[in-house]
Amino acid sequence: MKRVLIPLLFFVLVGCATTSPTVNYIKALALACDSYASTLVVLAARRAAGSLTAPEIRTVSSVRLIVEPICTSGDTVVDPRAALNRMSLEANKLLSIKRSRGL
């Protein structure tokens, strides 16, 4: 009996400890949103200092239109995986601007 219960208990505990892929995507999305916010703060300071070009400002504005609704929706994102993929695509545009400025 002990030989059956111990493996069974192990599988139950492992199953309870494992997070679903959706939870992992939501966590990754939260981290991506934090990174986006930090990058946006840096670029906003550069814009205020007048050191962003007009095309860079347009890029930041277009990225904000897409990313901010994703980041402010919290756990209510319908498809966290798709949101994370889109977030990565858009955030890379901001990172490119940041890198081109040597930041």
List helix spans (H) across 1-103: 2-17, 21-48, 54-72, 80-100
Check whether 2 has a pLDDT greater than 90: no
Q: Tell me the pTM.
A: 0.72
Sign of torsion, CA 59 65 71 77? Answer: negative
The mean predicted confidence, pLDDT, of the chain is: 80
Confidence of residue 19 (pLDDT cuts 50, 70, 90): low
Question: Can you tell me the distance from the alpha carbon of 70 to that of 14, in angstroms, rounded to the nearest whole number?
Answer: 32
Check whether 62 has a pLDDT greater than 90: yes
Confidence of residue 21 (pLDDT cuts 50, 70, 90): low
